[in-house]
Amino acid sequence: MTDALPPAARQPLEKEGEDYFRKGCNPLAQTGRSKLQNQRAALNQQILKAVRMRTGAENLLKVATNQKVREQVRLELSFVNSDLQMLKEELEGLNISVGVYQNTEEAFTIPLIPLGLKETKDVDFSVVLKDFILEHYSEDGYLYEDEIADLMDLRQACRTPSRDEAGVELLMGYFIQLGFVESRFFPPSCHMGLLFTWYDSLTGVPVSQQNLLLEKASILFNIGALYTQIGTRCNRQTQAGLENAVDAFRRAAGVLNYLKETFTHTPSYDMSPAMLSVLVRMMLAQAQESIFEKIILPGIRNEFFVLVKVAQEAAKVGEVYRQLHMATSQEPVKENIPYSWASLACVKAHHYTALAHYFTATLLIDHQLKRGADEDHQEQCLSQLYDHMPEGLTPLATLKNDQQRQQLGKCHLHRAITYHEESLREASLCKKLRGIQVLQEVLSAAHQRTRLKYTEHQEDDDLLNLTDAPNIVSKTEQEAEMILPQFSKVTVTDFFQKLGPLSVFSANKRWTPPRSVHFTAEEGDLGFTLRGNAPVQVHFLDPSCSASLAGAKEGDYIVSIRAVDCKWLTVSEVMKLLKSFGGEEIEMKVVSLLDSTSSMHNKCATYSVGMQKTYSMICLAIDDDDKTDKTKKISKKLSFLSWGTNKNRRKSASTMCLPAVGVTRPHVKKKLPTPFSLLGSDSSLY
């Protein structure tokens, strides 16, 4: 994604130093993030190469009969399997690269998890769109070269968005522009022959499809990923920085949830409903963590009611991370999500639960009920702090009895120490987390603080007298909720608006080629009236008038008058133009709307590495330089990516089959496996 070039000079550019770039994109900046994207792109190519080698070896193993050859192939397969596992671990390390994605300010805080952007290949729209404009709109496609170049420049800029609101607006603008492009150039009855290729953000496995919806879904994913990078980049040592982080993670969750609910049959694992559900939960958990950090940023006063609030807020963060860790442990997400992410969720669940018990112990040990204190309020707070009181204890009696308070407080400290030790142990089991120094420092400091507090009040018989401390009820004053994407706030101009109003001049409507009608207005009477919005239609046509005799028909759309484009003119403007010619001959070009049924059959080719047959079309290895389709077959299967509405779920698709896997097998409903484990099965693909 970092090989993007600056847009052409005719585009609105900005200048920063000596580099020209589109607003929201700076492909020439050699930042740590751009270097990281270069590494991701290189890894994607290595993974693709290893996948192809493995599939070729498996096919050779199937047909080989010589025992010596088979042994040699099995040896090569073991090496390829090892390489794939190492590449997967390396890609996982880039996904949790703290030095690149986190805030550069010195901060004693636990790192957050960002999402990497999906990579893509170049797409040349020029030939396909020019041909479609000539065939469908009966206009010269070369007149739209600038518009096509603008579209390609915008796509190129979206491969390297800046990590700020301008970058988000750039991606949203392209997403909306794709809606215009889809309506104008992608009829629902056929595909245009453009192959869109996107790499899975988590596994690096490429997916190619002749469907613009794959492009739209991938851009949506990158909008959500960019929000996560903005959130992790915020300065969490300031109130404003934490508020921005909360907002960014909530917006990321909203975009990813919108992607999950809007698109179905997604072809890559990072956009599958199960994975998107986990990612939404992850972003909301990080937003809740930032809310907790915002509450404790000014400092925690050692007061009873303040400590109750902080303890319940910490318990809330621990609860959402515990739920997140459970979600990451379920199939099929468990096989595809980075192990370091699941481990970090488990570490945070234990860490914040330990903090909740520590603050509860502090309010019990350090605060005694004094005369004149609000007993009812403290009793109510203490009773609401627990899901149940320990056996034989009541809230008011515990508040009045110093020994009971001390004993219950030490029970909480003992349980907090247990959780701290568990978080340290979990972090030590993951190689990636062991390399994050600030994480180890934060966990160790919290553990030492709790042990010191316990040592100050420890007694010899504590091991015999201490009971298990009750659970703390989670509660928060600000629940982290997703913010849905607001595309209406982004102003976008249709690049191809010269083709006419989209309500009429779209890909799903067909009409006759423009016809020239030569007529004159007899004594100021045109012989017809006009109706409708732009473009206007001929209405109440007099069969005996000169316009009717020249070929005009009732309901014709007027596209031009004497070379003046009328597609966007209103009724009053067109009527004024017609009457301005007086008795002179008028040349008017009109088109007639045809039946919307199309004779073109539906086709869809999908190129997906490592995807299951029930989720992917079997396809032939496509060389990066030679995109010619060979050995095409028609197969009745559901298109990978479609809108949630039933009307857009197309059933027929063309598949490109491997020679060794030429027979289409019946559809069998199976559990979605990991792409790397699947590569060893009979369904492995180039």
The predicted structure's pLDDT at residue 196 = 93
pLDDT band of 644, cuts 50, 70, 90: very low
Mean pLDDT of the chain: 78
**pLDDT higher for 309 or 683?**
309
Q: What is the token pair recorded at 356? A: 């909740």
Relative to beta strand 537-539, strand 564-565 is unpaired
Instruction: Please list the residues that pair with 444 across neighbouring strands.
Output: none
pLDDT at 682 over 80: no
Q: What is the token pair recorded at 477? A: 């004053």
Question: What mean pLDDT is predicted for residues 531-549?
Answer: 88
Residue 100 to residue 103: CA distance in whole angstroms: 8
The DSSP 8-state label assigned to residue 125 in this structure reads: -
Residue whose structure tokens are 């994975």? 275
Q: Quick one: which of 189, 266, 272, 258 has its CA closest to 595?
A: 189
The predicted structure's pLDDT at residue 301 = 85
**pLDDT higher for 200 or 32?**
200
Question: What mean pLDDT is predicted for residues 6-32?
Answer: 49
Q: What is the largest CA-CA distance in the chain?
A: 116
Lowest mean pLDDT among 345-359, 473-487, 498-512, 655-669: 655-669
pLDDT band of 311, cuts 50, 70, 90: very high
The predicted structure's pLDDT at residue 601 = 38
The DSSP annotation for 594-605 comes to --S---PPP---
Q: Is residue 677 classed as helix, strand or coil in its secondary structure? A: helix
The predicted structure's pLDDT at residue 95 = 59
Q: Quick one: which of 212, 151, 169, 183 has its CA closest to 8?
A: 151
pLDDT band of 605, cuts 50, 70, 90: very low
Q: Residue 282 in contact with residue 113, Cβ under 8 Å?
A: yes
The DSSP 8-state label assigned to residue 558 in this structure reads: E
Model confidence, pTM: 0.76
Architecture of the CATH domain 105-298+480-503 = Alpha Horseshoe (1.25)
Relative to beta strand 557-561, strand 529-531 is unpaired
Residue 504 to residue 534: CA distance in whole angstroms: 9
Instruction: Please list the residues that pair with 522 across neighbouring strands.
Output: 525
Residue 47 to residue 137: CA distance in whole angstroms: 43
Domain residue extents for the chain: 32-96, 105-298+480-503, 300-318+330-476, 511-592
The predicted structure's pLDDT at residue 376 = 72
With a CB cutoff of 8 Å and minimum separation 6, the contacts of 315 are: 352, 353, 356, 472, 473, 474, 475
The predicted structure's pLDDT at residue 188 = 82
Q: Quick one: which of 93, 150, 129, 71 has its CA closest to 493?
A: 150
Q: What is the token pair recorded at 85? A: 């596992």
Question: What mean pLDDT is predicted for residues 648-677?
Answer: 39
Percent of the chain scored above 90 by pLDDT?
35
Q: How crowded is residue 558: how many other Cβ atoms within 10 Å of its Cβ?
A: 24
Question: What mean pLDDT is predicted for residues 366-382?
Answer: 70
CATH H-level superfamily of 511-592: PDZ domain (2.30.42.10)
The predicted structure's pLDDT at residue 290 = 95
pLDDT band of 119, cuts 50, 70, 90: confident
Q: Which of 54-63, 323-332, 609-618 has the highest mean pLDDT?
A: 323-332
Residue 670 to residue 332: CA distance in whole angstroms: 11
**pLDDT higher for 71 or 651?**
71
The predicted structure's pLDDT at residue 271 = 92
Using omega within 30 degrees of 0 as the cis cutoff, is the peptide bond preceding 673 cis?
Answer: no
Provide the residue type at 528 as one letter.
F
Phi and psi, residue 287, nearest 5°: -65, -40
pLDDT band of 269, cuts 50, 70, 90: confident
pLDDT at 39 over 50: yes
pLDDT in tens, 76-116: 888 887 777 777 667 666 655 545 555 545 567 888 999 88
Provide the residue type at 132 as one letter.
F
pLDDT at 152 over 90: yes
Task: Please write down the long-range contacts of 567-570, taking CB distance under 8 Å and 24 or more positions apart.
Answer: 567/499, 567/500, 567/501, 567/505, 567/534, 567/535, 568/497, 568/500, 568/501, 568/534, 568/535, 569/534, 569/535, 569/536, 570/533, 570/534, 570/536
The DSSP annotation for 476-502 comes to -SS--------GGGS----TTGGG--T
Q: What is the token pair recorded at 604? A: 């869809």
The predicted structure's pLDDT at residue 534 = 85
The predicted structure's pLDDT at residue 225 = 93
Lowest mean pLDDT among 385-399, 449-463, 485-499: 385-399
Q: Residue 508 in contact with residue 447, Cβ under 8 Å?
A: no
In sequence order, what E strands does 514-585 have?
A: 515-519, 529-531, 537-539, 557-561, 564-565
The predicted structure's pLDDT at residue 28 = 53
Residue 151 to residue 497: CA distance in whole angstroms: 13
Instruction: Please list the residues that pair with 588 across neighbouring strands.
Output: 517, 561
Provide the residue type at 353 as one letter.
T
Residue 95 to residue 78: CA distance in whole angstroms: 26
Helix (H) or strand (E) holding 209: strand 206-209
The predicted structure's pLDDT at residue 37 = 59
pLDDT at 180 over 80: yes
What's the gap between Cα 255 and its chain centre?
A: 7
Q: How many residues does the chain have?
A: 686
Phi and psi, residue 242, nearest 5°: -70, -40
The predicted structure's pLDDT at residue 369 = 61
Helical spans, DSSP H, in 457-483: 462-465
With a CB cutoff of 8 Å and minimum separation 6, the contacts of 64 are: 70, 73
Question: What mean pLDDT is predicted for residues 30-57?
Answer: 69
Task: Please write down the long-range contacts of 500-504, taking CB distance under 8 Å and 24 or more positions apart.
Answer: 500/534, 500/535, 500/559, 500/567, 500/568, 501/533, 501/534, 501/535, 501/567, 501/568, 502/180, 502/183, 502/184, 503/533, 504/535, 504/557, 504/593
Question: What mean pLDDT is predicted for residues 41-67?
Answer: 80
The predicted structure's pLDDT at residue 105 = 53
The predicted structure's pLDDT at residue 287 = 96
Percent of the chain scored above 70 by pLDDT?
75
pLDDT band of 370, cuts 50, 70, 90: low
pLDDT at 449 over 50: yes
Question: What mean pLDDT is predicted for residues 541-569?
Answer: 90
Q: How crowded is residue 425: how many other Cβ atoms within 10 Å of its Cβ?
A: 11
Q: Residue 21 in contact with residue 4, Cβ under 8 Å?
A: no
Q: Quick one: which of 324, 252, 316, 322 has its CA closest to 289?
A: 316
Relative to beta strand 19-22, strand 13-16 is antiparallel
Provide the residue type at 408 as one letter.
L
Question: What mean pLDDT is predicted for residues 624-641?
Answer: 41
Q: How far apart are the first and last CA of the chain?
A: 22
Relative to beta strand 642-643, strand 557-561 is unpaired
Residue whose structure tokens are 């096919």? 59
pLDDT at 16 over 60: no
Q: Residue 552 in contact with residue 544, Cβ under 8 Å?
A: no
Q: What is the dihedral of CA 373, 379, 385, 389, to 10 degrees?
A: 140
Q: What is the token pair recorded at 114? A: 């960002």
Residue 588 to residue 455: CA distance in whole angstroms: 95
Q: What is the token pair recorded at 591? A: 């088109």
Question: What mean pLDDT is predicted for residues 192-212?
Answer: 87
